[in-house]
């Protein structure tokens, strides 16, 4: 739960639905947690004191560390805070929000504040989110998932086309014996690679486009064209590289040995 004194500085930003809190006991929730009991009109009970908060608005991407997050007024926040610490006050805030004057960039403002006082650690909103202590472990988890996902493609494609080459070994040998150039056979193999990758990636992109209309757990997915295009290009390149073993096998077929019954290079 986060409490703010000025909505423009400490609030959740633009709302996608509902309104900002106007009185005590109201809050704005993260839009990704609607199905978890944080939709508009829902009542959230803060334990152990049993304080009820009504969700009156939803904002996108305001969840901290992929957890349900509420934004409320400073007064309501202090009421909740005193259930844990009866002597708590708001005299010393955790974060000070500032807004750049007209003509001043965020970078200039943060640099000016840091020069003014060595105890200040001024950050833009984006940098503050990026440097959140809990975000590193989340990013590491997603990195591992993406790396494993990236390894699956060349392994599966490579094995598939290598097995295919073994199965068609006799046909490839016959074609070489009849004078078919290795380049033409390799081109045919690459066409098959492109077709398989194109079909697989097309299904994946289409499935992700449908999935991005909803959410996974408390995460709201977004279809970002640049990121999707990057991964399509990377996985296409990995798929083609994975076919190198099959290409080498085709190149190893000696047309003279093939014509004399020597078969594929083993």
Position 130 scores a pLDDT of 79
Distance CA 262, CA 266 (A): 10
Residue 224 has pLDDT above 90, yes or no: no
Least Cα distance to 98 among 20, 11, 10, 15 occurs for 10
CA distances from 86 to 72, 89, 255 (A): 19, 9, 89
Its pTM stands at 0.62
Omega before residue 48 within 30° of 0, cis: yes
As a whole-number percent, the residues of the chain with pLDDT over 70 amount to 92
Would you call 100 helix, strand, or coil by DSSP? coil
pLDDT of 208: 86
Q: Which residue has the higher pLDDT, 18 or 171?
A: 18
Res. 196 pLDDT band, cuts 50 70 90: confident
- Asked whether residue 68 carries a pLDDT value surpassing 60, the answer given is yes
pLDDT at 44: 92
Residue 55's pLDDT is: 95
Q: Are 71 and 30 in contact (CB under 8 A)?
A: no
- State the pLDDT at residue 42: 92
Q: How many residues does the chain have?
A: 266
Structure tokens at 125: 């909103």
Q: Residue 92: helix, strand or coil by DSSP?
A: coil
262 versus 187: the higher-pLDDT residue is 187
Tokens of 149: 């996902």
Distance of alpha carbon 111 from the chain centroid: 30
Q: What is the pLDDT of residue 266?
A: 45
**pLDDT tens string 33-44:** 888 889 999 999
> Residue 258 pLDDT more than 60?
no
Percent of the chain at pLDDT above 90? 16
217 Cβ neighbours under 8 A, 6+ residues apart: 66
Residue 94 has pLDDT above 90, yes or no: no
CA distances to 96, 162, 252, 260, 263 from 99, rounded to whole Å, are 10, 60, 68, 82, 75
The DSSP code for 13 is -
Please enumerate in sequence order all residues whose Cβ is within 8 A of that of 105, keeping only pairs 6 or more positions apart, or say none. none
């Amino acid at each position: 739960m986060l409490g703010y004194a000025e909505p423009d500085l400490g609030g959740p930003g633009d709302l996608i639905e509902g309104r900002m809190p106007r009185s005590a006991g109201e809050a704005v929730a993260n839009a990704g947690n609607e199905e978890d009991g944080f939709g508009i009109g829902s009542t959230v009970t803060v334990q152990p004191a049993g304080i009820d908060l009504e969700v009156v608005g939803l904002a996108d991407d305001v969840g901290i560390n992929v957890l349900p997050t509420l934004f409320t007024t400073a007064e309501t926040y202090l009421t909740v805070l005193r259930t844990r610490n009866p002597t708590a006050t708001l005299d010393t805030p955790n974060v000070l929000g500032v807004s750049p004057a007209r003509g001043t960039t965020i970078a200039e403002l943060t640099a000016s504040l840091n020069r003014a006082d060595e105890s200040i650690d001024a950050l833009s909103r984006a940098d503050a989110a990026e440097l959140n202590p809990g975000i590193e472990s989340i990013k590491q988890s997603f990195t591992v998932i993406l790396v494993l996902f990236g390894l699956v493609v060349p392994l599966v494609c490579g094995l598939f086309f290598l097995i295919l080459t073994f199965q068609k070994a006799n046909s490839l040998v016959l074609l070489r014996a009849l004078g078919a150039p290795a380049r033409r056979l390799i081109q045919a193999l690459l066409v098959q690679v492109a077709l398989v990758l194109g079909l697989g990636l097309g299904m994946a992109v289409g499935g992700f486009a449908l999935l991005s209309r909803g959410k996974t757990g408390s995460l709201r997915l977004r279809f970002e064209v640049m990121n999707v295009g990057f991964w399509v290009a990377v996985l296409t390149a990995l798929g083609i590289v994975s076919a190198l073993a099959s290409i080498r096998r085709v190149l190893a077929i000696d047309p003279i040995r093939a014509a004399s019954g020597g078969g594929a290079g083993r």
